[in-house]
Copies of this chain bind each other. A is one copy, B any other.
Amino acid sequence: VIDFFVEPASTYTYLAACRIGALAAGIPVRWRPFALGPIFAAQGFRDSPFNLFPAKGAYMWHDLAREAAALGLPFRKPSVFPRNSTAAAKLAFVGLAEGWGEDFLVRVCRANFADDRDIAAPDVLDDLVRDAGADPTAARARLPEFATQLRETTAAAQALGVVGAPTFVVGGELFWGNDRLERAIAAARR
């Protein structure tokens, strides 16, 4: 089993979210939306390190575009970064319980990093819930059932030693970054 820690606001999570379905065929993957904000805050960062350290950010945007192109994935640099992903992650927990959560999360990542849509906006999220085949009003009505999930999953990630996204966890072992997806899958197949 692979635990896939997904942060919809995270750049390289977009690539991994698009890839993991095909690559991990036959392996159970548990998608676990979490929030990087508290994990960065624990390191003393009040913003994405890619914003706090502009040279690192400049490199990352170039690398992300290059990796997306190599993977044949559409990419457009978002006009706002990072976007607040709390509402998206909370809706995703509803979707994961109902079977449309993975598709929704891929759509959220794509909206953010390929279409430059505001994934913090309720109307955008409603569109994406509908695109994933569900009813946004019904999904929102179930949010209270999942009220603690995002906080708990973020705490679980932190306890496991997660420092960034995406992170894959196989038998307690961490694999950080889209670049480590293949190794995580190989570990899960052993």
A contact residues vs B (CB 8 Å cutoff): 42-43, 53, 55-56, 58-59, 62-63, 66, 70, 161, 163-164, 173-176, 179-180, 183
Collect the chain B residues with CB atoms within 8 Å of residue A63's CB.
Answer: 175-176, 180
Docked-complex contact A163 and B43, CB < 8 angstroms: no
Docked-complex contact A161 and B59, CB < 8 angstroms: yes
Residue from B43, B55, B66, B161 in contact with A161 in the complex, judged by beta carbons closer than 8 Å: B55
Complex formed: what's the CA distance from A164 to B173 in Å? 25
Number of copies of chain A assembled together: 2
Collect the chain B residues with CB atoms within 8 Å of residue A173's CB.
Answer: 62
Shortest CB-to-CB span from A19 to chain B, Å, is 15
Docked-complex contact A163 and B62, CB < 8 angstroms: no
Secondary structure class of chain A's binding surface, majority of residues: helix
Docked-complex contact A176 and B59, CB < 8 angstroms: yes
Shortest CB-to-CB span from A80 to chain B, Å, is 23
Starting from the known contacts A59-B174, A66-B183, A70-B183, 17 additional A-B residue pairs (CB-CB under 8 Å) come to: A42-B55, A43-B53, A43-B55, A43-B56, A53-B163, A55-B161, A55-B163, A56-B163, A56-B164, A58-B161, A59-B161, A59-B176, A62-B173, A62-B174, A63-B175, A63-B176, A63-B180
Complex formed: what's the CA distance from A175 to B179 in Å? 14
Complex formed: what's the CA distance from A21 to B43 in Å? 37
Closest Cβ neighbor of A55 among chain B residues: B163
Complex formed: what's the CA distance from A43 to B161 in Å? 24
Complex formed: what's the CA distance from A56 to B175 in Å? 12
Complex formed: what's the CA distance from A164 to B55 in Å? 10
Complex formed: what's the CA distance from A43 to B49 in Å? 10
Complex formed: what's the CA distance from A119 to B161 in Å? 30
